[in-house]
């Protein structure tokens, strides 16, 4: 599963710089996560970095984007390929 940011987001901007895949961006009202880029930090770190730094605990799994750890690892490999 990819992660998502809920409406509890306070726009503190601590999550965006720690995302190794640049999946987090400023949305219209709160920060958002692009599920095509989110690997839950699989391949980079043992735990999602945005979740670990979020002061309001507003970054749960996205129930609309169901992925296994193996699928997340494959996404990581595709995202980090060098041309």
**Angstrom distance (rounded) from CA 58 to CA 7:** 8
User: What is the tens place of the pLDDT at every residue in 3-42?
Assistant: 999 999 999 999 999 999 999 999 999 999 999 999 999 9
Q: What is the CATH number of domain 16-79?
A: 3.30.70.20
Q: Where are the domains of the chain?
A: 16-79
Contacts of 44 (CB under 8 A, 6+ apart): 20, 21, 76
What is the arithmetic mean of pLDDT over 57-78? 96
Over the chain, what is the mean pLDDT?
96
Query: Residue 83's pLDDT is what?
Result: 66
């Amino acid at each position: 599963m990819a992660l998502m940011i809920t409406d509890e987001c306070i726009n503190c901007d601590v999550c965006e710089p720690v995302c190794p895949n640049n999946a987090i961006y400023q949305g219209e009202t709160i920060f958002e996560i692009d599920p095509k880029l989110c690997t839950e930090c699989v391949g980079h770190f043992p735990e999602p970095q945005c979740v670990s730094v979020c002061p309001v605990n507003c970054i749960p799994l996205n129930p609309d984007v169901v992925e296994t750890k193996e699928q997340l690892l494959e996404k990581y490999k595709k995202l980090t390929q060098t041309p």
